[in-house]
Amino acid sequence: MVFPRSVQTMFTDASRSFREELFVSMRRPLPSMMSLQAFEASARHLSFAEAAREMSLTQGAISRQVRILEDMLGRELFERTRSGLLLTVAGEEFLLGIRPGLERLETATTRVSSRRDVNRRLHLATLPGFGARWLVPRLATFTNAHPDIDIAFFTATEPIDFEKNPLHDAAIHFGTAPQVGAQGDWLMDEEPIPVCHPSLRHPEGLSPVEAIGRYQLLQPLRRASGWADWMLAAGMAGARARQGLAFEQLHLLIEAARAGLGLALVPRFMVETEIAGGALVSPFDERINSGWCYWLVYPSKRKPGDALKLFRRWLLEESRRADHRGPIRPRMAHSRSHVSAQASSPEILHRS
């Protein structure tokens, strides 16, 4: 059936009017959260004074919030007596109605806030030598800029399996590439250099092969072919050198060099402070890239939290500022057994 245009207009106007009335009715003013909390606390304690103490407000402020709520509802919620407060029938009904909603709101707020707090925490696994010698001395700039971020450090000398270790958000990795199951950012190349106490430095005029033979070479236990690889890359293949003390941890190797016990082969970045201060010297000028690198790695299948994003940005900037690139010699040629035996977990070769 087709209605005349005037009838269609009447129906349209009626429909619009109905929708507007419905919208207005749905937008009835609701009590403020402050009023609801003041009422609930007062009803629970049956005391404005106790409610004020709980909410860190004055008793007058609590009383005013309850009065605002009563005026909005058009009902008395409390009977005010000399001995205290009593809930009216309307007050009991209103309390039963709002309490579950307030509890759900509190639960949801706590849950979301705790997730936000988790995003402000960072659990980082780091190689001990890298952490102590490079990362921690620079860390104040990050903590000063982000005092709300908590960082927990764990030491690890083998690649972190993020699926088996969900607690870890990221790790400092040493190898030719990030490990399987992780993505990563290059931080710096390893550049091993020989260092010793200044008193042990060989006299000038000696060839490198003659000079290296004057030293007792401190041995890194976790990298048995380290000296052989370095001498090959430095053009000293076949040089005769005395084998000295062996150490598992790099920081002990460095301390042995400081104590004048021999010549140690360590990453340049770990002894820059000692070299600048004169505690150690590097008697050979060769700058050689070992082929290994330091990486910041994190899970491929996990979305990084806010703390990791900020830490990553800061760490990459620190790495660029340090600028450890620039070796002038080709990469060291590793012995076959050295690479094949340790390729799956390269940081146990040298790192401490």
Tens of pLDDT, residue by residue, the chain (352 residues): 454 555 445 445 555 554 555 444 455 688 999 999 999 999 999 999 999 999 999 999 999 999 999 999 999 999 999 888 999 999 999 999 999 999 888 878 766 665 555 568 899 999 999 999 999 999 999 999 999 999 999 998 889 899 888 889 999 999 989 888 899 999 999 899 999 999 999 888 888 888 998 999 998 887 778 898 899 998 888 788 888 999 988 889 999 999 999 999 999 999 999 999 999 999 998 888 888 899 999 999 888 888 999 999 999 999 998 865 444 444 444 432 222 222 333 333 334 4
Looking at residue 130, its pLDDT comes to 93
Looking at residue 111, its pLDDT comes to 66
Report yes or no on whether pTM surpasses 0.85. no
Q: How far, in Å, are 64, 119, 172, 296, 308 from residue 146 at the CA level?
A: 40, 13, 20, 19, 12
The enclosing H or E element of 48 equals helix 48-55
Q: Where are the domains of the chain?
A: 33-112, 121-190+293-322, 192-277
Q: Does 121-190+293-322 match 192-277 in CATH topology?
A: yes
State how far the Cα of 192 lies from the Cα of 199, in Å rounded to an integer: 21
Query: Exposure pattern of 85-95 as b/e (b: 16+ CB <10 Å)?
Result: bebeeebeebb
SS3 348: helix
CATH architecture of 121-190+293-322: 3-Layer(aba) Sandwich (3.40)
Looking at residue 9, its pLDDT comes to 52
Q: What is the DSSP letter of 291?
A: S
Phi-psi region of 256 (alpha: psi -120 to 50; beta: other; left: phi over 0): alpha
Looking at residue 242, its pLDDT comes to 87
Classify domain 33-112 at the CATH class level. mainly alpha
Classify domain 192-277 at the CATH class level. alpha beta
Cβ contact 262:256 at 8 Å: yes
State how far the Cα of 257 lies from the Cα of 275, in Å rounded to an integer: 12
